[in-house]
Amino acid sequence: MKNMSYVDSVLNTVIARNPGEPVFHQAVTEVLDSLRPVVENNPVYQQEGLLERLVEPERVIMFRVPWLDRNGKVQVNRGFRVQYNSAIGPYKGGLRFRENVNLGIIKFLGFEQCFKNSLTGLPMGGGKGGSDFDPAGKTDHEVMSFCQSFMNELYKYIGPDIDVPAGDIGVGAREIGYLYGQYKKITGRYEGVLTGKGLTFGGSMGRKQATGYGLVYFVREMLAGVGNSLEGKKVVISGSGNVAIYAAEKAMQYGATVLAMSDSNGAVYDPEGIDLALVKEIKEVKRGRMKEYCDVKKSAQYMEGKNVWSVPCDVALPCATQNELNEDDAKTLLKNGVIAVAEGANMPSTPGAIAAFQSAGILYAPGKATNAGGVATSGLEMSQNSLRLAWSFEEVDKRLEDIMVGIYNNAYNTAKELGMENNFVVGANVYGFKKIADAMLAQGLV
Ligand code: NDP
């Protein structure tokens, strides 16, 4: 029997050692599969148990989060922080508050975050955290009570040079504000320990827009690479949260029409083009449901319990959550003529969907490259906090644009050098990996 390859033996260990964590297996498999050409042809990357160390988090913290609800009843949630890899900088990555959060989800997100952060070119390691607490339907007071209790434990493990959390699903400006207030109360220190802060207390201009805008800067480059542009294109976006809203805004600025958006209850299709001011009013101001869009705009159609992928489009931007676009959805998009798919969410396309896009030869780019603008701008927020400066929106946006163009070029050139032009999965994973791997090897067996 042929000897098992190094990559396969590490993959087998990951699956055996992390039972019941399918999304974590999925994320590691995708990355390691795409690293085969560099790892298996390069003995440097087979030394010091490099891959075994890469897939194992440096530290996993799990803790109890007790809090009082509006009726004075005790509630107990579970908190997580996975400090994945600090080879190239302090741990950096968001906090997700959503009912379905578990350790496997946080590990998959933390693993992805390492490569994403490496791609930005900024000195940030990878981490991720969160809780199975869902802010939806809670009062502000309940959210504050939860956030304070969460920080009562988390503060022991974070710091501006140690680990700098940010937002993710369910963690926006309100939650970051409460978390920051409690950190300051406990430690007595006013420092850049969280990003995504309010503008009056150390937040960065442009952070709110960064992930969505950055995604569309990447799409612009990707289309330009094949002599095309966003002008006049039909775009479909899943989700209606932070990433989705600002992806829609930038796509519209480039002359595209956004035809559909969604939330976890259903999708809205507006043949006249989505009215983004109305979406912002419903989601950002009222914290309402997308269904309410159709009460106001009569041209629109609500598709209860459905996703957006049946709406014909040129460009599809999944911006909601993991595994929200499966192989059947991919086939529908392809049948309807999609030419580019770029991920605002983390791992929204299933492996079957990715295979369908790649074998059809359309442009497909994974979240760790395309949604890196959020963490990149968080990195810029850290720099401003350290410098005690606040840059203008234009300055931050220009730096974001330069970083996204850099990520596109690095992923494109890396894939091309490997003879896999326009394979952004390989390009992003290999480019992100090399920097982390070289740093880990230089730092010895730690
Ligand atoms: P938000 O909480 O602001 O928005 C999430 C959106 O996705 C909401 O519209 C939500 O609907 C929808 N959604 C969630 N779960 C599902 C589901 N199962 N089916 C359909 N829709 C769903 O989160 P963000 O916009 O910040 O994050 C979205 C994605 O982008 C996540 O994968 C996140 O990890 C990723 N990301 C975010 C970054 C950021 O800077 N915010 C940076 C990089 C990646 P509902 O209102 O019903 O909950």
Q: Calculate mean pLDDT across residues 10-31.
A: 98
Cα(18) to ligand 1 centroid in Å equals 26
Q: What is the CA radius of gyration of the chain?
A: 21
Check if 242 has its Cβ closer than 6 Å to any atom of ligand 1: yes
Cα(347) to ligand 1 centroid in Å equals 12
Whether pLDDT at 410 is above 80: yes
Annotated catalytic residues are: 128
CATH of domain 59-190: 3.40.50.10860
Residues 6+ apart with CB under 8 A from 221: 404, 405, 408, 409
1 pLDDT band, cuts 50/70/90, is very low
Residues 6+ apart with CB under 8 A from 247: 211, 212, 213, 215, 216, 237, 317, 319, 344
Report which ligand 1 atom has the smallest distance to the Cα of 171: 2
Q: Calculate mean pLDDT across residues 277-289.
A: 96
Alpha-carbon distance 224 to 222, whole Å? 5
Report which ligand 1 atom has the smallest distance to the Cα of 371: 43
Whether pLDDT at 12 is above 80: yes
Whether pLDDT at 367 is above 50: yes
Check if 371 has its Cβ closer than 6 Å to any atom of ligand 1: yes
Supply the DSSP string of 348-384, one letter for each residue: -B-HHHHHHHHHHT-EEE-HHHHTTHHHHHHHHHHHH
Q: Calculate mean pLDDT across residues 99-106.
A: 98
Per residue in 307-345, pLDDT (tens digit) is 999 999 999 999 999 999 999 999 999 999 999 999 999
Fold observed for domain 210-361:
Rossmann fold (3.40.50)
Sketch the domain layout of the chain as residue ranges: 59-190, 210-361
Whether pLDDT at 16 is above 60: yes
Answer for the pair 62, 78: CB distance below 8 angstroms, yes or no.
Answer: yes
Among protein residues, the one with the nearest Cα to ligand 1's atom 32 is 345
Per residue in 107-137, pLDDT (tens digit) is 999 999 999 999 999 999 999 999 999 999 9
Q: pTM of this prediction?
A: 0.96
Whether pLDDT at 232 is above 70: yes
Check if 118 has its Cβ closer than 6 Å to any atom of ligand 1: no
Alpha-carbon distance 218 to 228, whole Å? 13
Residues 6+ apart with CB under 8 A from 291: 265, 266, 268, 302, 304
Per residue in 43-94, pLDDT (tens digit) is 999 998 999 999 999 999 999 999 999 999 999 999 999 999 999 999 999 9
Cα(441) to ligand 1 centroid in Å equals 35
Q: What's the pLDDT at 2?
A: 56
Q: What's the pLDDT at 333?
A: 98
Check if 344 has its Cβ closer than 6 Å to any atom of ligand 1: yes
Check if 243 has its Cβ closer than 6 Å to any atom of ligand 1: yes
Supply the DSSP string of 250-300, one letter for each residue: HHHHTT-EEEEEEETTEEEE-TT---HHHHHIIIIIS---THHHHHH-TT-
Per residue in 174-216, pLDDT (tens digit) is 999 999 999 999 999 999 999 999 999 999 999 999 999 999 9
Six token digits for residue 55: 């897939």
Q: What's the pLDDT at 361?
A: 97
Q: What angle do CA 288, 294, 296 make, to 5 degrees?
A: 85
**What is the rounded average pLDDT for all residues in the chain?**
97
